[in-house]
Chains A and B, each alone.
Chain A
């Protein structure tokens, strides 16, 4: 259980080497991220989620990206290729497979580069072994997970099951609801992940199609400014090569020997990775508007608690229910790792019934919430859809009414 951390009035801490006003890539000027995120003038842009990723990466002072073109995917990796051709990043190439891409990202990060890549659905699973390796090696790589279904039967539509697999990789896992979240958190994500007391990979998730393929209004910085470059000397672990642990241990692993010290080394390092996730709270709150959750009307007896697009559908359902005089409050979970234990306990203190709409078959977010709050019979895991099915707000309305013991008409479409 985390202690509540006050995120108000905090600032993003920077490397001493940062020179605000120095020249960044192409025509960009390095800005203080505090100014860039919270004060700089913004202009509206009407973009798809993939284009939003491109616009954020343009301003991220990125060193390198590796792409793997698969279905399902988003256009983001290809759009970052366009940025490379314009000179916004130093290196970009296509990897042989999803697994290879994540290994190549690790190599670049070991070498001191700021690295970004994207993946989705089956690709996330194929690359999976690399994510705990990134975390254990303390590489602050950012991967945008544009959630898609996991086979089989075949589905290439949005489904958040892959996030369940990501939760214990040791990476930070955030779940963007809107294109605006995605834009702000890509940029803010580098600043959090690269803090010396964090220095972990970030899996920044958004829902495929619902965010990546949808055109939406996003406010982006008006001026030609970018993040300060990554300072690899802020890494909390020594430069890793074949002679220095923990890489040294991979070459001649004492962990292979069954003795107490090998078990101890593994356990303590894994605990340290989790402690680093915990330490990221205070940095994350700064860029997430003061809290790992967003709340509306917590005094209401019925609450909708969710993450990602399910929150958006929940907002629409709340609007529809309001028209019928049923009042429902809302909790949006922005960060899944670190998980907002204390914040959720406080937010749900007055709720009698808690609905958790999700775009996956497992209902993993409901389980996470049940494990964290007292009297967890209050949690109703659902409604669920899976395999890419849409969750119309009308369906959430129906489930809530059913859950409250009200009579509902069948929603089967006319015709």
Chain B
């Protein structure tokens, strides 16, 4: 299959993330954009959701490119789609029907699942558009490495980066620390208070490391898949 972009050039990459409220789809988009920004690329991210509630459809979008990005809002024609929850597909919890509506030729779909969720027709239509599909059991990875299914978004980010190489792990690590790792400022605290803060911070450090490990593992296994797959990432 030919690459959607001439090799070596960096083109705009549009990523659409479809998940359910509470899964961290918005945070995932922000992290990817922050990582791209840290690498000196242009990036923006934004969410799209209704009145907030858990398990309701929630989408977010990341745009990364070599020039200033003005494009805003819902991403109708993405190159990459990340599906954070099987219900996006099985229960049609998405803003577009089918969930891959608008995907560009030669695109990529990454789905958090351990079984094939696509119908015969889905497979056929995606094949016609030369779209690659990668299933990854992100929730199990999150439970095993992160210790909580809340790390599912980390695994999905890792898989996205592993295949597309839109950002590297170093930048993701930086973004993760910037977003969650801000140190507590102890203002005129007593020794006890300092101690309490230290403990709390140590816990946070551990949590950050677990999230990073989840991301790294997903990055590694999806990188491996990408080598044998037909998906051709543009050079980013």
Task: Spell out A's residues near B (CB within 8 Å).
Answer: 46, 71, 156-158, 178, 207, 209-211, 213-217, 309, 311-313, 315-316, 389-394, 413-415
Are B37 and A413 in contact, with the CB atoms below 8 A? no
Which of B70, B72, B74 has the largest number of chain A CB atoms within 10 A?
B72
* Contact for B103 among A309, A316, A414, CB less than 8 A: A414
A213 x B76 contact (CB < 8 A): no
In whole angstroms, how far apart are the Cα atoms of A311 and B74 in the complex?
16
Offer 17 A-B interface pairs, CB within 8 angstroms, sorted by A: A156-B50, A156-B51, A157-B48, A213-B47, A214-B72, A215-B34, A216-B44, A217-B37, A315-B70, A390-B72, A390-B74, A392-B77, A413-B77, A413-B96, A414-B101, A414-B103, A415-B100
- Distance, CA A216 to CA B76, complexed state (A): 20
Q: What per-residue 1/0 map shows which CB atoms of B45-61 lie under 8 Å from chain A?
A: 11110110000000000
B177 to chain A, nearest CB (A): 14
Residues of A within 8 A of B105 (CB): 414
Contacts of A214 in B (CB 8 A): 44-46, 72
Is residue B30 contacting chain A, with contact meaning CB distance below 8 A? yes
Give the secondary structure class of A's interface.
Answer: loop
Which of B48, B70, B101, B129 counts the most A-chain CB atoms under 10 A from its CB?
A: B70
Instruction: State the CA gap A408–B17 with chains docked (Å).
Output: 29
Distance, CA A311 to CA B45, complexed state (A): 18
Say whether, besides A71-B51, A413-B102, A414-B125, A210 and B73 are in contact (CB < 8 Å): yes
Asked if B98 lies at the interface with its beta carbon under 8 angstroms from chain A, I say: yes
- What residue of chain A has the Cβ atom nearest to residue B36's Cβ? A46
CA distance A352 to B42 in the complex (A): 35
Question: Given A213, A315, A391, A415, which contacts B125 in the complex, CB threshold below 8 Å?
Answer: A415
**B-side interface residues toward A, CB under 8 Å?**
30, 33-34, 37, 42, 44-48, 50-51, 70-77, 96, 98, 100-103, 105, 125-126, 129
For B51, the chain A residues whose CB sits under 8 A away are: 71, 156
A215 & B73 in contact (Cβ 8 Å cutoff): no
Cβ contacts under 8 Å, B44 to chain A: 214-216
Query: A213-B46, A214-B46 are known contacts. Are A312 and B70 too (CB-CB below 8 A)?
Result: yes
Q: Which residue of B lies closest to A391 (CB)?
A: B73
Considering only CB atoms, which chain A residue lies closest to B121 in the complex? A415
User: With A46-B34, A209-B48, A215-B46 in contact, do A413 and B76 touch (Cβ < 8 Å)?
Assistant: yes
Q: How far is the CB of B88 from chain A (nearest CB, A)?
A: 14
Select B101's contact among A209, A213, A413, beta carbons within 8 Å.
A413
In Å, the complex CA distance between A390 and B71 comes to 10
The reply to whether B77 and A210 form a contact with Cβ atoms under 8 Å apart is no
Residues A415 and B101 in contact in the complex (CB < 8 Å), given A392-B76, A392-B77? yes
Cβ-defined contact, B46 with A210, below 8 A: yes
